[in-house]
Amino acid sequence: MALPSDFVWGFATAAYQIEGATEKDGRAPSVWDSFCQIPGKIADGSSGVVACDSYKRTTEDIKLIKSLGAGAYRFSLSWSRIVPLGGRQDPVNQAGLDHYVRFVDNLIAAGITPFVTLSHWDIPLELDRRYGGILNRTEFPLDFEHFARVVFAALPKVKHWITFNEPWCSSALGYGVGQFAPGRCSDRSRCSSGNSATEPWIAGHSLLVAHGRAVRAYRQDFAPAHGGVIAITLNGDAAYPWDPADPADVEACQRRLEFVIGWFADPIYRGDYPALMRAQLGDRLPTFTPDERALVHGSNDFYGMNHYTADFIRHRKGPANSLDHLGHLELFSHNKNGDTIGAETQCPWLRPCPLGFRDVLVWISRRYGRPKIYVTENGTSVKGESDMSIETALEDDFRVRYFDTYVRAMADAVRLDGVDVRGYFAWSLMDNFEWAEGYVTRFGVCFVDYDDGQKRYPKKSARMLKPLFDSLVRKEDGL
């Protein structure tokens, strides 16, 4: 039994992906509400207007989580449901806040530990209109701190907080390629406005400073009484050289990790951006002021880790393009010899590679001084799942194998490599609005029947996690 006796596991979701009720009880639009209205941005032309209808089904969802044996649930808050216009001078919507107070109380009453993400990409639209949203490194952090303080005060029973989910996606996909809200980039065939050479780095910097402000507020004014911890969640895939005999491909793998993980983790754990990023980007990468550095450096009580897949990495020759945000390299699913990183899924970017999970856990642990790690997302889509009958989709053996091999790889990282992993959250509790992929792609361990009132049906993968963790988590008496 490799995992500690106090190890927690559960499922994860995000507000915009499951809640629906986008105009109910005073909620205002987020950048994703607006983004979904742009033709061609969402694969099936859908949005989160209804999603899984979870805003109205909290009692049902809690019973579902409980029935699957999970002891924890990670979910995010809709900022525009709590402070509809988003700003520190704007009114708080008590109905929206009360919704989450009740939800947290009911989770705890059911024996489920809440892990709460303050913002999972759905920034209030008004902040984007008012001053450019996360492109404003002065105003946005102040407004985010205010929102965080409102929530901290209202939810003292929450002991595990996450500021932002995957700031890389918000920055690189939202401002580099226009694939995510608010849909800005330099390519005018894809985006009506934006500058991919500068905006991703400005956005990332603002998110780090906002994270730092919220953490300082929590530590100084709430943690002493509430006794909780707070951190940020970062994504990161494993990287293997396309040609292991080529030193340039080997170096490109390190650059890949630094341009994704290090972009945000290095300032938090090491005090500044990675040297490889500065070498490529120069003064396009913002510089921390002394005050900003003091806010950000040391601002994690644990490391929130989202991980799904791995890539083969091949370096690019010549000077880097100013619009590049990957680290002057290419990503492949096959290496020079034609070997695949893993089997196909519904997502072109996702192929199972459980060894990559272990390797990234080890890389994070060694680079950042063996932090306590919570795996806040891990899961897979299944190729063609949305075209299957419900009966066939429920027999999701592909996803069962994914979870089994990935969780065991994580346990090996703990047992054999000394990585300090404290928790794991499967993505996701249920099929939901999968951002730019709409409802075409399913990640849930529970099937959602969008044609029959969003009914939930547990898949085989929903039932296998409890016995798996029972076999890996040490019992209190050590047996």
pLDDT digits over 172-204, tens only? 999 999 999 999 999 999 999 999 999 999 999
Give SS3 for 224: helix
Percentage of the residues of the chain whose pLDDT score is greater than 90: 98
CA distances to 185, 301, 426, 461 from 392, in Å: 40, 42, 21, 13
- Taking the complete model, does pTM exceed 0.95, yes or no? yes
Helix 94-109 to helix 58-67 angle (10° resolution) is 20
Q: Residues 253-281: pLDDT tens digits?
A: 999 999 999 999 999 999 999 999 999 99
Average pLDDT of the chain?
98
Kindly give the pairing relationship between strand 455-458 and strand 446-449.
antiparallel
pLDDT at 452: 97
Sorted by where each starts, the structural domains of the chain and their CATH numbers stand as 8-471 (3.20.20.80)
8 Å CB contact between 210 and 292: no
Give SS3 for 26: coil
Q: Considering 126, 145, 166, 385, which one is annotated as catalytic?
A: 166
8 Å CB contact between 122 and 32: yes
pLDDT at 1: 74
Backbone angles phi, psi at 262, to 5 degrees: -65, -30
8 Å CB contact between 281 and 204: no
Helix (H) or strand (E) holding 176: none
- Amino acid symbol at 374: Y
pLDDT at residue 476 greater than cutoff 90:
no
DSSP string, 327-365: -SEEEESB-TT--BSS---SSTT----HHHHHHHHHHHH
Q: Which two tokens stand for residue 211?
A: 């994270």
State the Cα–Cα distance between residues 310 and 342, nearest whole angstrom: 8
State the Cα–Cα distance between residues 46 and 234, nearest whole angstrom: 27
475 pLDDT band (50/70/90 cuts)? confident
Give SS3 for 259: helix
pLDDT at residue 406 greater than cutoff 60:
yes
Active-site annotation holds for 377: yes
Burial (CB < 10 A; 0-12, 13-18, 19+), residue 441, is: buried
Q: 182 preceded by cis ω (within 30°)?
A: yes
Q: Residues 110-168: pLDDT tens digits?
A: 999 999 999 999 999 999 999 999 999 999 999 999 999 999 999 999 999 999 999 99
Q: Residues 326-352: pLDDT tens digits?
A: 999 999 999 999 999 999 999 999 999
Q: Considering 377, 385, 434, 437, which one is annotated as catalytic?
A: 377
Residues 2-9: what's their mean pLDDT?
A: 96
Q: Residues 36-46: pLDDT tens digits?
A: 999 999 999 99
Active-site annotation holds for 166: yes
Burial (CB < 10 A; 0-12, 13-18, 19+), residue 248, is: middle
Kindly give the pairing relationship between strand 303-306 and strand 8-12.
unpaired
pLDDT at 477: 56
